[in-house]
Amino acid sequence: MGQGFLQIGLTLCIVILITPILGKYIARIFMGERTLLDPLMNPIERSIYILAGVRTTDNMEAWQYIRAILTTNLIMGIVVYLLIYFQRGLPWNPNGLGAPTWDTLLHTAVSFVTNTNQQHYSGETTLSYFSQVAALGFLMFTSAATGLAVGIAFIRGLTGRPLGNFYVDLTRGITRILLPISIIGAIALLLSGVPQTLAGTLVVKTLEGGTQYIARGPVASFEMIKMLGENGGGFFEANSAHPFENPNGASNLIEAIAMISIPAALIYTYGIFANNIKQAWLLFWMVFVIFVFLVGITAIGELQGNPLVNAILGSEQPNLEGKEVRFGWAQTALWSVMTTATMTGAVNGTHDSLMPAGLFSTLFNLFIQIIWGGQGTGTAYLFVYLIITVFLTGLMVGRTPEFLGRKIEKREIILASVILLIHPIAVLIPSAIALAYPFTLSGITNPEFHGLAQVVYEYASAAANNGSGLEGLQDNTQWWNLSTCFSLLTGRYIPIIAILLLAESMSGKPTIPETPGTLKTDSLLFTSVTSVVIVILGVLTFFPVLALGPIAEGFKLASGN
């Protein structure tokens, strides 16, 4: 028991140590300051800008930034759809795989272009190496960089700067952050035992004289950007529970740190942009405390195990169902909360086998999306909650709400409300339709309370651009492929549009001098109020689902039924 909690604690200590280092580096990149990679990357970036006809000095307005995102994402989605559709005739297809069904292919293209990577297929038996690397691997870089660009543009607007240029932000996000760290991380994974090969499936004879087919491929490079970019889509169906994606404790630690590093660092990056490191650390610790609480209740639930099983065994045993023994209950608990908190979606154990406390934590993360949140967009959601808190506290004291010296008015509150309300719409409406027709649409394999959680989790994962799932659900059907596309697109692009419009609105406001009556947003009191607002809004919106799902399931298990 002690060793498990020690592993969790050491991982979290590493996260705390690297946050200011990476946060400063990201800030220097997007503030145009000199970095160590300048001699190598400047010529490459200049060539890209010349070929693309991009002028780095041109700042975009919000709608220009939005159109650039929508246009590039649409083109990339179509290209990837066609690459996978014609994969049989393309190189790096040693197993001769053809195209999947049209609805699975559509869902896959939409899922990866939205940085969700929700998978309704088995990677090793569906996609060629070329499709995995040139199609999906390409989107793992560009979709992650898109989210990062949106987060940086929002921070710029919030701190009174122009939004910047999407094409420049996209390029620098890839060349200065995602690509170099991925190269280093892929080499580290190679050293830990993750394969990187273009050879086909290995056919071996077993000791019993049978034949075994061992899938392999260029996994190490795929795995690293999957984690760093908060993508989460696995090269193999088992995802990071597969020994070729995540063979041991060293690879597990590397991948865990990779998935949380950028979203945690972006909070510190904001502090540098706003010239207010104190507020950045207060927000970091607010998110960190909630995160540690969720990890704690999940770990305790997995350690205590299933009371029904324990009653049969006559002793208390950890819940090891659906877990890899090389990771155990502690690392699976930490990973489950971390992958849903960061919107990565990768799994090193089966979420469908989590105890109710773990299912509560993972669903809660998907519902509020700010602990730590999606690549770039999660940071924006965090400050949307701050704006809502400023508005509410301003109403309580009878003052015009202000944030960073700028007034919060009707337009900002409308846009903030859209950002927060679109998520429950994308989750609850399709969930209600699926649950209304449980035998023909839902695909539920576990009835009662857990079955409801299976359905809602799938849509929450899609709308939050997370991608993980309760894999007991039978989700590779036309209904699930098409209905989750609605949640994928709605949960990705409507908030991005509103975030950028909100950033532009804040950027254009004059700064109001601070007075003795100005609300201090960099205080412990205000940060505590913000955490209460976050929890209350999350509970008010999704509490019925939590009550009828994991909470009810927990009570049922505790009663011995």
| Beta partners for residue 211, in sequence order | 205
pLDDT digits (tens, 9 = 90+) for 2-46: 788 888 999 999 999 999 999 999 999 999 999 989 999 999 999
Q: Taking 70 as the threshold, does the pLDDT of residue 312 lie above it?
A: yes
Asked if 323 and 349 count as a contact pair (C-beta separation under 8 A), the reply is: yes
Region at 234 (left for phi over 0; alpha for psi -120 to 50; beta for the rest): beta
Asked if 224 and 141 count as a contact pair (C-beta separation under 8 A), the reply is: no
pLDDT digits (tens, 9 = 90+) for 471-482: 778 888 899 999
Biggest CA-to-CA distance, the chain:
82
Q: Taking 70 as the threshold, does the pLDDT of residue 244 lie above it?
A: yes
pLDDT of res. 253:
95
Rounded to whole angstroms, the Cα distance separating 484 from 482 reads 6
Q: Taking 80 as the threshold, does the pLDDT of residue 519 lie above it?
A: no
Three-class secondary structure of residue 409 per DSSP = coil
pLDDT of res. 134:
93
Averaged pLDDT of the chain: 91
355 band by pLDDT with thresholds 50, 70 and 90 = very high
Phi/psi of residue 59, nearest 5 degrees: -90, 145
Rounded to whole angstroms, the Cα distance separating 132 from 235 reads 7
pLDDT digits (tens, 9 = 90+) for 259-300: 999 999 999 999 999 999 999 999 999 999 999 999 999 999
What is the sign, positive or negative, of the torsion defined by CA atoms of 73, 178, 336, 298? negative
pLDDT of res. 164:
94
Q: Which one, of 255, 250, 222, lies nearest residue 236 by Cα? A: 222
Q: Which residue has the higher pLDDT, 71 or 399?
A: 71
Q: Taking 70 as the threshold, does the pLDDT of residue 185 lie above it?
A: yes
Domain residue spans in the chain? 360-558
Joined tokens for residue 447: 């009835």
Phi/psi of residue 543, nearest 5 degrees: -60, -40
Count other Cβ atoms within 10 Å, centred on residue 75.
Answer: 11
pLDDT of res. 254:
96
374 band by pLDDT with thresholds 50, 70 and 90 = confident
Name residue, tokens 């499936």: 201
561 band by pLDDT with thresholds 50, 70 and 90 = low
Q: Which one, of 409, 196, 175, 385, lies nearest residue 286 by Cα? A: 385
For the segment 203-213, the average pLDDT, to the nearest whole number, is 86
pLDDT digits (tens, 9 = 90+) for 58-87: 899 999 999 999 999 999 999 999 999 999
For the segment 304-328, the average pLDDT, to the nearest whole number, is 86
Q: Taking 70 as the threshold, does the pLDDT of residue 418 lie above it?
A: yes
pLDDT digits (tens, 9 = 90+) for 86-130: 999 999 998 889 999 999 999 999 999 999 999 999 988 899 999
Q: Taking 90 as the threshold, does the pLDDT of residue 513 lie above it?
A: no
Asked if 413 and 520 count as a contact pair (C-beta separation under 8 A), the reply is: no
Q: Taking 70 as the threshold, does the pLDDT of residue 517 lie above it?
A: no
For the segment 230-256, the average pLDDT, to the nearest whole number, is 93
pLDDT of res. 439:
66
Specify the pTM.
0.94
Strands (E), 27-101: none
Angle at 74 between CA 68 and CA 78, to 5 degrees: 150
Q: Taking 70 as the threshold, does the pLDDT of residue 389 lie above it?
A: yes
Count other Cβ atoms within 10 Å, centred on residue 465.
Answer: 31
Joined tokens for residue 196: 């990187």
| Least confident interval from 30-34, 171-175, 202-206, 550-554 | 202-206
